[in-house]
Amino acid sequence: MPICIPDQLPAAEVLRNENIFVMPESRAAHQDIRPLEVVLLNLMPKKIETENQILRLLSNSPLQVNVKLLRINHRVSKNTPQEHIDKFYRDFEKLRERNFDGLIITGAPLGQVAFEDVYYWDQVKEIIDWSTTHVTSTLYLCWAAQAALYHLYGLEKQTREKKLSGVYWHQTKHKHNPLVRGFDDAFLAPLSRFAHFDSNLINEETDLKVLADNPEAGSYLFASEDFRQVFITGHPEYAADTLHNEYQRDSQEGLTPQLPENYYPQDDCTNPPCATWRSHGHLLYNNWLNYCVYQITPYDLAELKPKSDNILK
């Protein structure tokens, strides 16, 4: 089944060119089914690029998914045309009273900024709190995972001295858990962050279960037992050249970044990189949609129950 997105969203043409089934809202209105309703809170500067990446992973499922794009501030973007944001993104006030099957909160380039210094921090906290009563399962990506650990569990930010960048092997834990169903014993995933996620700390200080990690990089995937909170600390949605573009950008800005690990053939940045994580990324999002959303959410979203109150404050 397809994802359902606005008729003129740039991602529609990109995905159709990749032979991915995309259904415009005008056609979906005539479908006599109950699609999943998913909100994407996109905090990345290059919003169109991130839309394409996330929607690509959501599309590879037998479930029909309606996607709503959410914004939480009205500052003029330096990296995305304002007309695109005004046309396709909705304000939180227009969604606040509704229930949704899923919510995805992306990362943001804020790894070295204190949470309280992020100008939209209050809005992020508000949406995280709102999700506990209005969303079946919330997927936190990279910076959002760190933010949710801090807000919900009181875990202070752990920051690495050097940015972690590259493609890393991760070990699958709890192999019978639905979120990692079908995973290999070890799999590759891109990382790009200053944050460190200590698996021992997460296991000891929260009710979350670590499902995949790397000895050097820390936790990659962890979730609550009821799957209503799912955390991914890497970027399975990245295209083959995303880490390359980040490396080039940081180099041009004089930041002397380290070469992304296990990424370029022969560790030569003039060699085109290839994606070695696509199948894992599609499987992870497929498992989230199926086991954490579709299998749990009520048919009538008005019957959605608040999340359990075992979150530490």
Q: Which residues of 33-56 are buried (b: 16+ CB within 10 A; e: fewer)?
A: eebbbbbbbbbbebbbbbbbbbbb
Whole-number Å distance between alpha carbons of 296 and 309: 18
In the residue annotation, 18 being an active-site residue is answered as no
Active-site residue identified among 4, 49, 51, 142: 142
Cα–Cα distance for residue pair 76/4, rounded to 1 Å: 27
Structure token digits, residue 205: 């200080």
- Number of Cβ within 10 Å of residue 81's Cβ equals 12
Rounded distance between C-alpha atoms, residue 189 and residue 166, angstroms: 8
Q: Spot the catalytic one: 37, 51, 237, 246.
A: 237
Average pLDDT over residues 112-140: 97
**Rounded Cα distance, 213 and 221, in Å:** 7
Cα→Cα distances 205→102, 125, 210, Å: 25, 20, 12
- Any idea how long the chain is? 313
Contact predicate 4/42, CB 8 Å: no
Q: Is residue 163 part of an annotated ligand binding site?
A: yes
What domains does the chain contain, in order, with CATH numbers? 3-159+196-238+277-302 (3.40.50.880)
Instruction: Write out pLDDT tens, residues 267-295.
Output: 999 999 999 999 999 999 999 999 999 99
pLDDT at 280: 96
Closest by Cα among 169, 124, 119, 181 to 150: 124
CB-count burial class (<10 Å; 0-12, 13-18, 19+) for 219: buried
Are 169 and 186 spatial neighbours (Cβ–Cβ below 8 Å)?
yes
CA distance linking residue 30 with residue 227, whole number of Å: 32
pLDDT band at 188; cut points 50, 70, 90: very high
Q: How confident is the model at residue 307 (pLDDT cuts 50, 70, 90)?
A: low
Look at 25 and 77; give whichever has higher pLDDT: 77
Mean pLDDT of 119-129: 97
pTM equals 0.89
DSSP H or E run through 189 = strand 186-195
Whether residue 13 has pLDDT greater than 50: yes
Rounded-to-integer distance, Cα 85 and Cα 149, Å: 28
**R_g of the chain computed on alpha carbons:** 19
173: number of Cβ within 10 Å = 18
The reported pLDDT for the residue numbered 76 is 86
Cα 289–Cα 27–Cα 135 angle in degrees, nearest 5: 30
Mean pLDDT of the chain: 91
Q: Pick from 45, 237, 52: which is nearest to 139 by CA?
A: 237
Tell me, yes or no, if 4 is annotated catalytic: no
Backbone angles phi, psi at 110, to 5 degrees: -130, 25
Q: Looking at residue 2, what is its pLDDT?
A: 55
Given CA atoms 72, 6, 85, 236 in this order, what sign does their dihedral have? positive
Tokens, residue 303:
């019957």
Determine if residue 87 is labeled as part of a ligand binding site: no
Q: Whole-angstrom Cα distance, residue 298 to residue 240? A: 37
Q: Is 237 a catalytic residue?
A: yes
Of 170, 235, 280, 282, which one is the catalytic site residue?
A: 235
Determine phi and psi for 223, rounding to 5 degrees: -155, 160
